[in-house]
Amino acid sequence: MRYLIALCVGIFSVVWWPILPDLSFIIVVLALTMLLPIKLPLRYKKSAWFALYIGWGCCWGIFSAQQYQLPEVLNKQEIIITGTVDSLVETNRTYSRFSMAIESACLKSNEAIEISITSVLLSWYQFKDPRTQISPGERRLLTVRLRRPRGFRNPGAFDYQSWLIQQG
């Protein structure tokens, strides 16, 4: 039972991390935590197993959170997306913000490369025509530049990256 709790502590601790490490960090942590129970003396074995399960939980949490993130190679690249507006549109004088369910996506520079994205939160800043309206349920073809979310490192501040991961 205590090992299950240690695994859960590792998984849920990832939510409070200001930035998610890359896959190489996950591999190093797994390798180090697997060596702990083998190399330590007998009196430290239980603590080593506990640390092993916490390490595995952290790795699982990082891996799960990174599945919902935009790959680094696609950050700030122009992408052509086709999808349906699936949320209410929040509009003010400078931008409109809405969520979009993606049906298809490909790079603008090479349209043969398909990208697997299921949902995005878009902010539309420049209006060429001020009468352009976006309505929920509309199907649109857009050229967008997506950015990876970034978390804040200030304690107590709103963490946008963590919020997006929790939203799915």
Residue percentage of the chain with pLDDT more than 90: 2
pLDDT in tens, 27-38: 787 787 777 777
What's the confidence (pLDDT) of residue 119? 81
The mean pLDDT of 4-31, rounded to a whole number, is: 79
Nearest to 64 by CA among 130, 114, 10: 10
pLDDT in tens, 80-127: 889 998 888 887 777 888 888 889 888 888 777 777 788 888 888 766
CA gap 16, 61 in Å, rounded: 11
Beta strands in the chain (DSSP E): 78-85, 90-91, 96-107, 119-124, 139-145
* Whether 96 contacts 89, CB under 8 Å: yes
CA gap 6, 11 in Å, rounded: 9
Helix (H) or strand (E) holding 58: helix 45-66
**pTM for this predicted structure:** 0.57
Buried b / exposed e over 32-51, threshold 16 CB at 10 Å, is ebeebbeeeeeeeeeebbbb
